[in-house]
Amino acid sequence: KQEVTQIPAALSVPEGENLVLNCSFTDSAIYNLQWFRQDPGKGLTSLLLIQSSQREQTSGRLNASLDKSSGRSTLYIAASQPGDSATYLCAVILGGSARQLTFGSGTQLTVLP
């Protein structure tokens, strides 16, 4: 069964720092990997989706990479801002199902002004 792990569970950084969030998965036969952001008491906002044939995706200050062979993905946030404070979740879809996401437990990020 696919397991998705995110380390660290919580991270606190000063404003302006570049940071990396980590996601690992046990079954490398994934279809794609998606990064989400969740603000307290809210739903999930899709940030980036990386297909299995891709190695990275970029959106503004965010860059997500994917290494299927090692079962890892990273989310890089450049020049962090207090507004980036949220919980970041990664999720994978296994090849074949093309529908069902398996989520990690998230990294709670706090960016201090």
Return the closest-CA partner of residue 41 out of 87, 104, 91. 87
Q: Could you say whether residue 52 binds other proteins (CB under 8 A)?
A: yes
Q: How many residues bind other proteins (CB under 8 A)?
A: 26
Q: How far apart are alpha carbons 101 and 2 in whole angstroms?
A: 10
Per CB under 8 A, contacts with other proteins among 65-104 are 89, 91, 93, 98-101, 103-104
Residue 41 tokens, joined: 């008491």
Q: Could you say whether residue 45 binds other proteins (CB under 8 A)?
A: yes
Q: Which of 13, 49, 62, 63 binds other proteins (CB under 8 A)?
A: 49
CB of 74 to other proteins, least distance (A): 19
Residues 64, 78 contacting (CB under 8 angstroms): no
In the chain, the amino acid numbered 84 is D
